[in-house]
Amino acid sequence: MGLGNLITGPYLIIERTIRRALSACLYFVVVAHEILYSTLESYRGTHSAFQRLPLTMQGGIAILMRLGRSTSRQQKYAKIRDARQIAVQTSTKAFSNGELDLDKFVKAREYEIKALEDALLRSKRSLSARAFQGVPREMRRRTASHDAKKVPKRLRDRAKKEMEEDNTPTRKRQFTAKVRLRLETAKKLREIRQGVTKKNEPQAKLTQRPNGKGEGNDKQVKDTKVKKNKLLEPPKPQSLFRKRQIYKTWLPTHLYHTKRAHMTVPKEPLWRFALPLTPTNKSYRVTHRASGQRGAMAWDTSYVSTIGLEGPEKSIHGLLKALGVGADSEGADIWANRGQRWLRGTRSWTGWLFEREGFPHRPIGPAMIVWHLQLEQASDIVMGGTEQPPQRKKYKRKVLIRVHPSAFLQLWEEVLRLAKVQKPMVMVEDLRFEFGSIEVTGPASTEALLATLWPSQTADNDSDEADNPSKVWTTIGPITSPASTPLGALLAFEIQDPRLHFPTPKSGPTPQDPTSQFRALSLLSSWPPDRTQVPPDIFLRTARLKSQRELPSQKAISRRKSLATPGSYPDPKLTDPRIPIMLLANRAPSRSQGSWTLLLPWKCIQPVWYCLLHVPLSTGGSVRFGGQREVQQAAFECGEPWFPGDFPGTRAGWEWEERERKRRKEEWDRKPKGKRVEWASVDLGKGRKGEVGIGWGCDWERLFYGPTKVGQNDERQREQQNLANGASDTRVLPAKENEQGVDEEEEHEKTPKHPKLFQLRSSIAHSILTSGSPNQDLLVGALITIKLSFISRGVTSPCSRIYRLPTEDPSLREQWLSLLPDPNSSKTRNKRNRRGPAPLAKDAAQSAVQQRLARILFEPMPVNPGSKEYPVVPEEKDLMGFVTSGNFNLGEGQVTGIGSLLLSKLVASQDPLGRRQDEHRKEGKGAWKGSEVMKEDRLCIVREAGLGFGRLAVWDIC
């Protein structure tokens, strides 16, 4: 023992001495460095003698200062090193005479243990992110760094703890005496209201379910008295949001959209609803991919209006025929054998409706009509398990009419007028706020709906045949496109509450084996629901109200899920709510994908919507939602006109045009004069100055009435002035009287009427253009909807002007025709040659190289738009329409547009739709090729508003 002390003692003394010496040296070095740096800095900044020093000394001083100054990167690494450093101390006190004293040893290591824990904590904090930084970018909020309520609930505790540790200043609400008094008054009123409600409720309504947990009630839902032939008031909102819905109505998913989308201006609702315009994230390309290539898009279309008809079948037939159902050539067979399934109630019909005796001059808009299923026997009618009393003498049927909200009031007035004329009379019901709907499109739309809509497990389903609609729906998975289903196909059944099986696990890829494909084809060819469909419960008001009232709260759903086995869903019960739904397959001639329309009760939209948008798709990601701009984009990429914006010949389309004019005018006024287009200075060539008509809108009045002369048509001048000033206001109030007592229908009648223009159906327009002697009554004011495709490069946008080829200047007409590509050139035949001719082979002959060089040198250079050689736009008399939608079409890979043309000016042009082509064929010369057909038939010139040059394009009837 003594020998050990003699050996270790000197070493410890030497070690302690060396440490003290090194610490003293380091201390003096740091102090000297700081003094030198501060001295040099002050000397350099304050004394002019520094400028008189030699350059070598100035450089040396600068180097010393640069060495003393640390960069931000060095400071960051120094912070990390400091965080990872662990302080230590000597342990000599723990040894007494070479023996280990346990108490002293632990106390000696206590400092090091605390230093180690502190270093671990500091190292973790220096590298970890805050709670609000772990949120995905699309969910982040601006105030999340100092407000814990702005982060998701799972991160709020962590955020509060971080703010307390960092002493983050948080904004606390200051309750003034006025606010405190208001809150106390609201609390008292709430308590009084709850007490009165409990007192007035009968005891029979307070019965709980057998489980005794208050998940719902089994009270009998009576069919409440419905106001017939009167507009329905919106549902009464909660007291917290009541003042925000005075002039508008919220969708069932309003709170979801307000956090994730740009909404309409609060004081300027769209069609009496607060609607989402577009998501806050970039969504143009994402919408294209999700709706056509991979994924799915969903829209809450509960704003679409629904009208219910009830009465004898013959009376309803007369009413629908008076509205123009089946009036055109496309739907002439709808009342014959072709429409038997629709009349029975197993298919839907989509088409245009017109005013009474107004076909085809007074169109209203497109609509969807569905009949309530008619049974073979009138007695013992069983509808979804509910028995109804037999009706043998007077059997009444029901019909649903779904129409766009912009045309609802016009259609409502016509239906009321026609219902009173029918003998016996038809009862009309406003069902706008009883039916909600969701539209889903995309390759994964069927997959997402299959994961969300689970048919309800009832005793009736177990005994039904295998081809009933609910079982057909579960086997429809391989059918990825709704357009593959039969025309107007529908499925009506009952589903479970989707929250019971949320979240849905990711499903596997769609089976593509021959067996699955054969089953899908046989299912589409036979379509069993045409035979096995039962009367849908969604037509019954009692079933709709019962499904809404029996919806359990989210707390009850969470309780059932917590009691279930981990990894499994709660077992279904007979007392679970059964939600009646109707699935409608939509398709159009130009749309390849199609879409599903899910119809269900208004208050059942929210739980289905939340579950639908969180379904993990097999292709990756989830279902994306869209707004009104995405609806327009989806229709535009499919080459379909969007109602009402692309139909200015209807009342709804004209009101939309007035709204857009006012919006563009306000945007133009907000811009400074140096950054906005001066319409009076637009150079159109040949000494013409100024834009044709109103630059910020489609001036259909100018096209229809012609240019106004000085001193004539003072009323037209005043109307143009009002439009220029943006004085017209087409906002329609909600379906109730406002604070000033103005009724909705009276306000609707005061909206400005469009000129004598009407939208002509495409089938009628095609027959007029191909016939030799068109009906002159149809030419006055008729507009046809067309699709534009540019021959060369070009851009179009709404309000662009569409000209026909010059009719009075042959030389100018030839200049425009000379811009057509040569059909014999290799560039026209092969799209790959747009970047230039194909390269020659390495061993090509010298003569071939010289020929290629000579052809390139002598080839005429293309004329750039805007140059002196480029042809000017035609005169105003050749103006024949406007572009209503235009942009780069991602579906086609080029710029396209949707517009309307005045039919009278189109017919006045030479050979509008190829009658000379038929003569060309009769002469035995065969069919025309490429540019020969375009030369005289469908060529037009498109000029953007504010530009002085146009581009060649080809139009086709939509």
CA 163 from centroid of its chain's CA atoms: 37
Structure pTM?
0.73
Q: CB under 8 Å to 423, separation ≥6 — which residues? A: 315
DSSP 413: H
Could you report how far apart the first and last alpha carbons of the chain are, in Å? 107
Q: pLDDT digits over 865-919, tens only?
A: 878 889 999 999 999 999 999 999 998 889 999 999 999 888 877 554 444 555 5
**Are the C-beta atoms of 485 and 452 separated by less than 8 Å?**
no
Quickly list DSSP for 246-259: SS-EE-TTHHHHHT
Residue count of the chain, please give it.
958
**CA dist list (Å): 783 to 142, 366, 834:** 49, 16, 36
pLDDT band per the 50, 70, 90 thresholds, residue 258: very high
290-301 per-position pLDDT tens digit:
988 889 999 999
Other beta carbons within 10 Å of 97: 9
Spatial separation of the C-alpha atoms in residues 445 and 439, rounded to whole Å: 9
- Fill in the DSSP letter of residue 578: -
Give the residue from 481, 584, 478 showing the smallest Cα distance to 523. Answer: 478
Pick from 304, 308, 410, 329: nearest CA to 363: 410
**Tens digit of pLDDT for each residue in 369-411?**
999 997 654 333 344 444 444 444 457 899 999 999 999 999 9
Which run of H or of E encompasses 955? strand 951-957
Confirm if 668 and 923 have CB atoms less than 8 A apart.
no
Please tell me the distance from the alpha carbon of residue 906 to that of residue 803, in angstroms, as a whole number.
10
Task: Give 831-867 pLDDT, tens digit per residue.
Answer: 444 445 677 777 788 888 888 888 777 766 778 887 8
Query: pLDDT at position 665, please?
Result: 94
558: enclosing H helix or E strand: helix 554-563
| CB burial readout 360-374, b (16+ within 10 A) else e | bbbbbbbbbbbbbbe
Q: Where are the beta strands (DSSP E) in 313-379?
A: 348-354, 363-371
The H or E element containing residue 932 is helix 930-936
Q: Three-state SS for 564?
A: coil
Residue 315 predicted with pLDDT over 90: yes
Question: Residue 153: which pLDDT band, with cuts at 50, 70 and 90?
Answer: confident
Q: Find tokens 């082509």 and name the residue.
A: 917
Model confidence over 103-131: pLDDT tens digits? 777 777 788 888 888 887 777 666 567 78
Question: And the tokens for 427?
Answer: 């009862």
Torsion region of 252: left, alpha or beta (phi above 0 gives left; psi -120 to 50 gives alpha): alpha
Per-residue pLDDT tens digits for 427-470: 999 999 999 999 999 999 999 999 999 998 764 454 456 688 99
- Contact of 152 with 139, CB cutoff 8 Å: yes
* pLDDT band (50, 70, 90) for residue 610: very high
